[in-house]
Amino acid sequence: MCDAKLRESSLLCKTRSRGNVRTEHANQAGRYGLAVKPITLEGIDGYAEAHSTPPPPYLAAVAEETRASFADAEMLVGTLEGRFLELLVYVSRARSVLELGTFTGYSALAMASALPADGRLVTCEVNRERAQLAQRHFDASPFADRIELHVGPAGKTIRTLTGPFDLVFIDADKGSYVDYYEAALPLLSERGVIAADNTLWSGEVVGDGNSTSAVAIRAFNQHVLDDPRVVCVMLTIRDGITLIRKA
């Protein structure tokens, strides 16, 4: 059974009963592969996206090519969250960013664009084909010299990195979120922030959804909440994004 509030306020239950909510919504995706099933009232995400500054041409190009080449283009953070991440780097004056889960490079480029000229963004991707596409778009962008792409399992790569990082964006395989968080925390700068994506998992975390990823994300959310070393806030932007800082 779905949670009563969700049933009243969204199409979540109806959509879920027809199959995979994330894939189904992706089939109706907007211009830039805006993506997973919205967790807000119908139309709100679209309105928010329409009233946020549109992506620059190099990001639109990543989104267009991703949608044309990959069936799972819904994994892109997309226009709204991409702009949010760019502003997060901007307001925090981050100089160093670590990303786990590059995909085709959209979020990496969005964050890199707000770094100072001598800033650094390290991003990790396990899939070679995705990484190659991302690298091509990095090279074509004005920010190639700020971005370092590591191809391989993020859990392995992170052990080779030295911090501090002002922002760590966790967006790779959901089952490893707790491990990524534990590995990232010691690399975080004094006023650094960890941003974890998809922490509402299309709303499944609220109901009794028991997909592998929903269970993993629920466990991650509880792990962070119970951790006295940090302070966190979960935002209902797109698929949920949790911001975490040291206490």
User: What are the residues binding ligand SAM (CB under 6 A)?
Assistant: 75-77, 101, 103-104, 106-107, 124-127, 130, 153-154, 171-173
Q: Which is nearer to ligand SAM, 2 or 201 (CB)?
A: 201
Token reading at 137: 């778009």
CB of 98 to ligand SAM, least distance (A): 12
Nearest to 22 by CA among 86, 89, 71, 80: 71
d(CA 10, CA 36): 14
DSSP lists the bridge partners of residue 244 as 194, 232
Nearest distance from C-beta of residue 149 to ligand SAM, angstroms: 11
Q: How far is the CB of 121 from ligand SAM (least distance, A)?
A: 12
Least Å from the CB of residue 71 to ligand SAM = 13
Closer residue to ligand SAM, CB minimum distance, 126 or 241: 126
- Cβ 45 to ligand SAM, closest distance in Å? 16
Which residue lies nearer to ligand SAM by CB, 76 or 193? Answer: 76
> In this structure, what are the phi and psi dihedrals at residue 189, rounded to the nearest 5 degrees?
-70, 170
Are 219 and 231 contacting, i.e. CB atoms less than 8 angstroms apart? no
Nearer to ligand SAM, 172 or 224 (CB): 172
Cα gap 47→111, rounded to integer Å: 23
Amino acid at 143: F
Pull the structure tokens for residue 135. 């690298």
Q: Which is nearer to ligand SAM, 97 or 126 (CB)?
A: 126
